[in-house]
């Protein structure tokens, strides 16, 4: 049953982080260098609206927190914290608990960027020339309006030059972060807290926030958050984050880019899944890439639109795609049976899944698959193939999920345990 659960996990892990309501991210690994800076060795003290003004605000916060008490005892307060200049750039407001804010303070104040860049092997920044532009995007495979003009899907992101596979075209911290769990506070109080969080932002971020798309229903900031947020974790706690430019990237079931989230920096990056040609629209998937057509149709409606991408609008293509994705699931489930764990059968399974993954554009999930195969080879006693599959898992998970994603860290820990076993 363990392998079946792992297989099911593989088929529900998203490549697009983080924007479709199923939490794909991981609890934060304790950040910082092996010899941490002095102010990183302990958490910042808890800070809420009961602290006297003489000692508040404390760094990195620019204002004293504004807090909302819970509706019941033994629940934390919900407080607004704001930094008006994050790492010398724009501002950020957080609607979270004092406990999360205390753990997060040093990340916002003085993240060890050099150490983080060394850990992941590439810079914590996007292409300096900003290789994209934001403009009106046309819908594909739909009828024209009555006046003959093509239907639009609002703003989209388009490549200004060739963006090569693996290139980071966007890297952005959030301007507004909100605790996902809201049931312990009154709706009115939450709206007041959101108003406080948005009001305290610098003018540039405030204008950006209010200029974002929304459905036109309910309180403005709440509506904007529901329409545009990414699902992230902050110190292992579920939150949603508003990343204005990355939120402009439209959905495609077979996208040419993906996003990855770093819990150590709160930054979301948009990365080219493959070469993106000049003038081509940049797209990401708002859903797990491996879902079947019916599942995608149901989930995408939560975002207020029906998908008309080249896959969903072509019955022949999506039926073939569904068949391939079903086959991947069957293969993974078959490996749960000891009788199928022979060298020949495992090798055949790996080769078939690799082929199907290429056909379906699911390369972002191969890391999870190789992690499963590494565990199978370990149980079979083949340490050489265990190591090969484990290395593939780490490499791909670092690239697609992120160096500080929980899945990546588990794969790295697996390799460390394998090293210890072979000593």
Domain locations in the chain as residue ranges: 2-14+307-422, 38-126+168-284
Whether 18 has a pLDDT exceeding 70, the answer reads no
* Distance, CA of 362 to CA of 331 (rounded, Å): 15
Whether 57 has a pLDDT exceeding 60, the answer reads no
**CA distances, 22 to each of 229, 263, 407 (Å):** 12, 16, 15
Return the pLDDT at 49: 63
Return the pLDDT at 100: 93
Whether 24 has a pLDDT exceeding 60, the answer reads no
Residue entry with tokens 């312990």: 184
Tens of pLDDT, residues 105-143 = 877 875 566 666 666 666 667 778 899 999 988 876 554
Q: Could you tell me the pTM of the whole model?
A: 0.81
Q: Average model confidence (pLDDT) for the chain? A: 83
Half-sphere exposure in the Cβ direction for 17 (13 Å, CA): 32
pLDDT, mean of residues 386-400: 97
pLDDT, mean of residues 156-169: 96
In the chain, % of residues over pLDDT 70: 79
Cα–Cα–Cα angle for 260, 266, 271, nearest 5°? 25
Whether 192 has a pLDDT exceeding 70, the answer reads yes
Widest pairwise Cα distance in the chain: 73
pLDDT-derived band at 268, boundaries 50, 70, 90: very high
More confident residue, 6 or 193: 193
Whether 395 has a pLDDT exceeding 90, the answer reads yes
DSSP string computed for 62-102: SS--EEE--SSTT---EEEEEESSGGGS--EEEEE-HHHHH
Return the pLDDT at 126: 79
pLDDT-derived band at 74, boundaries 50, 70, 90: confident
Whether 4 has a pLDDT exceeding 50, the answer reads no
Return the pLDDT at 321: 93
Return the pLDDT at 5: 36
Tens of pLDDT, residues 86-111 = 876 789 999 999 999 998 887 787 55
Half-sphere exposure in the Cβ direction for 362 (13 Å, CA): 28
Tens of pLDDT, residues 352-366 = 999 999 999 999 999
More confident residue, 316 or 56: 316
């Amino acid at each position: 049953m363990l392998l079946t659960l792992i297989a099911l996990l593989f088929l529900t892990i998203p490549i697009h982080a983080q924007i479709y309501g199923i939490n794909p991210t991981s609890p934060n690994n304790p950040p910082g260098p092996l010899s941490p800076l002095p102010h990183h060795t302990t958490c910042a003290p808890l800070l809420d609206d009961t602290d006297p003004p003489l000692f508040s605000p404390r760094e990195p916060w620019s204002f004293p927190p504004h807090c909302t008490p819970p509706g019941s005892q033994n629940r934390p307060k919900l407080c607004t914290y704001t930094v008006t200049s994050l790492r010398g750039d724009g501002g950020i407001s957080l609607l979270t608990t004092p406990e999360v804010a205390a753990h997060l303070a040093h990340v916002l104040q003085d993240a060890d960027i050099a150490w983080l860049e060394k850990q992941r092997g590439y810079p914590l920044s996007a292409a300096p020339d900003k290789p994209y532009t934001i403009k009106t995007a046309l819908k594909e495979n739909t009828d024209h309006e009555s006046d003959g003009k093509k239907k639009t899907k609002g703003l989209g992101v388009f490549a200004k030059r060739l963006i090569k596979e693996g290139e980071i075209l966007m890297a952005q911290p959030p301007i507004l972060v909100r605790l996902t769990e809201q049931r312990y506070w009154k709706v009115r109080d939450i709206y007041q807290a959101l108003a406080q969080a948005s009001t305290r932002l610098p003018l540039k971020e405030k204008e950006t926030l209010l200029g974002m798309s929304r459905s036109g229903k309910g309180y403005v900031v709440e509506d904007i958050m529901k329409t545009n947020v990414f699902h992230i974790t902050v110190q292992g706690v579920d939150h949603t984050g508003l990343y204005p430019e990355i939120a402009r990237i439209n959905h495609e079931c077979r996208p040419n880019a993906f996003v990855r989230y770093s819990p150590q920096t709160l930054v979301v990056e948009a990365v080219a899944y493959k070469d993106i040609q000049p003038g081509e629209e940049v797209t990401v998937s708002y859903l797990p890439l491996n879902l079947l057509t019916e599942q995608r149709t149901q989930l995408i409606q939560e975002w207020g639109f029906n998908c008309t991408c080249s896959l969903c609008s072509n019955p022949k293509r999506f039926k073939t795609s569904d068949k391939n994705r079903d086959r991947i699931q069957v293969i993974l489930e078959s490996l749960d049976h000891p009788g199928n764990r022979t060298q020949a059968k495992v090798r055949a399974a790996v080769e078939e899944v690799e082929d199907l993954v290429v056909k379906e554009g699911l390369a972002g999930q191969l890391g999870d698959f190789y992690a499963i195969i590494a565990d199978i080879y370990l149980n079979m006693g083949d340490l050489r193939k265990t190591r090969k599959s484990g290395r593939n898992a780490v490499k791909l998970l670092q690239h697609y999920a992120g160096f500080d994603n929980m899945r990546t860290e588990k794969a790295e820990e697996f390799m460390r345990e394998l090293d210890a076993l072979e000593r």
